[in-house]
Amino acid sequence: MKPMLKYFAIMVLLLTSWQSRGQVIKFGLIADIQYADVETRGTRAYRNSLQKLENAVADLNRQQMPFLVNLGDITDRNAADLSPVLKELRKFRKHVYNTTGNHDYKGIRKNDSLYKVLGMPAEYYSFKKGNWRFVMLNTNEVAAYSNVEGTFREKELEGMMDRIKATNGRNGEEYNGGISSRQMEWLKALLDEAQRKGENVLILSHHPLGCAEGLTALNDSEIVALLARYSCVKALLAGHHHKGGFCMLGTLPCIIAEGMVETNSENAYGVVELHPDKLVLTGSGRMTSRTIEFNK
């Protein structure tokens, strides 16, 4: 390559990298639709979630949202209810990135069939947008409800429950799950690569890793201890706790999105903007708006 052409190619690469790092990434956010064709119970209006979802998708389409992230619990108790929810989600004009919630495993005997119908490339996965790496953890991988019998996950579940009991933890409930040692190894390798490449990382999961006593992932402290070692990890986003919430886990901001299923008519969804130095969540309905400054 001639010197001038080589110089030009290097400048183009540097400019592209600079533009990617300064780019604002925008996406829609929903959690805990939890649709079921049953009567309202307490604060959970199960049937009304379909209309709320339709309204949320229409609004996000109007805003020309580039993609949508769903944090799990699409249905409440019946795999047959997936069809009407997915019909509404397919009205979103761009890509929907799904993860599962604990309720989504009701009536499921083969987990792969659930991941396939949700369009998930694997039970846990990541994807890139600009200089951001989105990590979709599966905190249901090791759980009493997710078909672990006869697999290596069954023994890991026993170990997690034993550790919770030994430390008087409050998250050892049947509706909570954790991630396996294999998923932990995958996560570490991914974070090593992201750190090396100078990427920013957003961690997404159904179960919170903190901020919601009794509702967090079974091995929350182990996951957070790993994440805390990487400056590339900028924030955590989760569902499961329908009231929503926020706290700092050391230097890591942890946001819990409010659940769509709650209340008869008030919706809950949001738009997230990822800036190089901050996260801006603009909530609609019950979803709380927040601006979170990233640690340097």
DSSP 81: G
In the predicted model, is pLDDT for residue 11 greater than 50?
no
Q: Is 209 helix (H, G, I), strand (E, B) or coil?
A: coil
In the predicted model, is pLDDT for residue 16 greater than 70?
no
Average pLDDT over residues 280-288: 98
In the predicted model, is pLDDT for residue 200 greater than 80?
yes
- Of the pLDDT bands very low, low, confident and very high (cuts 50, 70, 90), residue 123 is very high
Average pLDDT over residues 106-117: 97
9-13, 160-164, 218-222, 289-293: least confident range: 9-13
* Residue-level pLDDT at 20: 55
Model confidence pLDDT, tens digit, residues 52-87: 999 999 999 999 999 999 999 999 999 999 999 999
Let me know: does 143 contact 108? Beta carbons within 8 Å. Answer: no
Let me know: does 65 contact 27? Beta carbons within 8 Å. Answer: yes
Distance CA(204)–CA(156), nearest Å, equals 22
Average pLDDT over residues 251-258: 98
Adjacent-strand bridge partners of 293: 278
- Of the pLDDT bands very low, low, confident and very high (cuts 50, 70, 90), residue 30 is very high
Which H or E run includes 1?
none
Q: Which residues contact 42 (CB under 8 A, 6 or more apart)?
A: none
- Regarding pTM above 0.85, the answer is yes
245 phi-psi bin (left φ>0, alpha ψ -120 to 50, beta other): left
In the predicted model, is pLDDT for residue 1 greater than 90?
no
In the predicted model, is pLDDT for residue 19 greater than 90?
no
* Residue-level pLDDT at 22: 82
Distance CA(219)–CA(157), nearest Å, equals 10
Residue in the structure block whose two tokens are 């709650």:
262
Q: Which residues contact 130 (CB under 8 A, 6 or more apart)?
A: 20, 21, 23, 25
For 273, other C-beta atoms within 10 Å of its C-beta total 14
What is the average pLDDT value for the chain, to the nearest integer? 94
